[in-house]
């Protein structure tokens, strides 16, 4: 049986023990079925010598692990770490540096995007991992030996992956991967202000200014409510339902039920709020409604611009021998497009800079990107 660390003293002792290690493998198990924030059920740690499983339900002092994760002399080794970063942030671990993500390393080597942990382990070591506990309830206690062994494997095999991946990477690739680890940490902290959450809704660019004004109010309210109640946003109202509300502009609680798929329970709970939000947006002066696009004289069209950006990313990747999927995912492309054309000049100042304009991406990608005149004037290049 693999023992659990279930007290503050045990966690502090382990962190002190591995403080001088070169590498620390790190993973989490959590539940996120109906909540906005992940609920930590287990933390796995392994420095190549000693493996520890930490019970977050029993720990109250996270300072030793916070300090260890921020220690610049210890490489933190994770696989597909975006959700782990979110889970660890719930216990105050917001600095994980330097960070080496084995999934991104495989992507950078040109082995394909989003490669799963079990597949990568099998490809590089020949080991076939048992994934039967992947849907277990990690908040239930006690955890079985099978669950604990499954969790332990998620860090135990990170070490051979790290060694093999690091050896195959060039110095440039090693540097890029660690720089991207820094950006992953910054990304979690750079959330869109609530007033701009509507930009993240698929196909919102097709709506009229008045419809966008309604969508803006509804999306901001949904996110605020989700944060207050710790609810997954899709359990409140789905994106497609927000879009339909924006298009149909119902004026009464009864007419809300004409929206396809509207959950009766949520209509009853939020009818008054929804009708009031829609009415407020309907009464806004036209000049206060978001436009589909700003600076239309220099905008060739949404789909055409997406195509231009996609070609720019591929060109930059070819020029610098970096896989295009490592340079950009769709979210980053949309972030740049929205920042350039979908917000007013005044609103742009309220948003974080797109990732295309930060760090290593700016160095490698910026020369290839289409840049509207108002952005060139703003940035000076």
Task: Say if strands 4-5 and 99-101 run parallel, antiparallel, or are unpaired.
Answer: unpaired
Where are the alpha helices (H) located in the chain, listed in sequence order? 8-17, 63-70, 82-89, 102-108, 117-125, 145-156, 158-168, 171-189, 209-229, 233-236, 239-248, 253-256, 264-282, 302-320, 324-327, 330-337, 345-348, 359-365, 373-379
Active-site annotation holder among 55, 101, 133, 154: 154
73 DSSP 8-state letter: T
Contact in structure between 41 and 136 (CB atoms under 8 Å): no
150 is catalytic: yes
61 is catalytic: no
Active-site annotation holder among 14, 27, 133, 211: 27
Active-site annotation holder among 47, 55, 84, 133: 84
Q: HEC states along 17-59?
A: HCCCCCEEEEEEEEECCCCCCCEEEEEEEECCCCEEEECCCCC
- CA 360 to chain centroid, in Å, comes to 19
84 is catalytic: yes
Active-site annotation holder among 14, 29, 47, 101: 29
Active-site annotation holder among 150, 162, 198, 294: 150
230 is catalytic: no
Between CA 254 and CA 123 the distance in angstroms is: 57
357 DSSP 8-state letter: G
Tell me the catalytic residues.
27, 29, 84, 150, 154
């Amino acid at each position: 049986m693999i023992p659990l660390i279930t007290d503050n003293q045990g966690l502090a002792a382990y962190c002190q023990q591995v403080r001088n290690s070169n590498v620390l493998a790190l993973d989490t198990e959590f539940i996120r079925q109906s909540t906005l924030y992940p609920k930590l059920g287990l933390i796995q740690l392994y420095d190549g010598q000693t493996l520890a499983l930490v019970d977050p339900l029993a720990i109250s002092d996270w300072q030793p692990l916070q300090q260890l994760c921020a220690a610049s002399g210890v490489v933190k080794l994770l696989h597909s770490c975006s959700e782990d970063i979110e889970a660890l942030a719930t216990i105050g671990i917001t600095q994980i540096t330097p960070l080496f993500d084995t999934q991104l390393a495989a992507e950078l080597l040109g082995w394909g995007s989003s490669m799963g942990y079990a597949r990568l382990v099998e490809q590089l070591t020949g080991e076939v991992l048992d994934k039967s506990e992947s849907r277990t309830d990690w908040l239930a206690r006690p955890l079985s030996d099978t669950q604990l062994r499954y969790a332990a494997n998620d860090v135990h095999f990170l070490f051979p992956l790290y060694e093999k991946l690091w050896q195959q990477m060039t110095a440039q690739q090693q540097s890029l991967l660690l720089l991207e680890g820094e950006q992953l940490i910054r990304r979690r902290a750079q959330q869109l202000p609530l007033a701009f959450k509507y930009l993240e809704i698929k196909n919102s660019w097709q709506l009229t200014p008045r419809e966008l004004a309604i969508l803006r109010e509804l999306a901001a309210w949904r996110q605020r409510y989700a944060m207050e109640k710790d609810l997954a946003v899709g359990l409140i109202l789905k994106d497609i339902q927000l879009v339909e509300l924006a298009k149909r502009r119902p004026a009464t609680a009864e007419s809300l039920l004409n929206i396809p798929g509207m959950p009766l329970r949520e209509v009853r709970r939020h009818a008054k709020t929804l009708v009031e939000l829609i009415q407020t947006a309907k009464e806004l002066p036209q000049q206060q409604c978001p436009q589909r696009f700003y600076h239309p004289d220099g905008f060739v069209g949404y789909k055409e611009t997406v195509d231009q950006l996609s070609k720019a990313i591929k060109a930059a990747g070819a020029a610098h021998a970096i896989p295009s999927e490592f340079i950009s995912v769709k979210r980053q492309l949309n972030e740049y497009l929205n920042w350039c054309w979908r917000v007013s000049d005044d609103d742009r100042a309220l948003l974080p800079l797109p990732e295309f304009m930060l760090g290593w991406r700016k160095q490698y990608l910026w020369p290839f990107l289409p840049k509207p005149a108002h952005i060139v004037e703003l940035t000076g290049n």
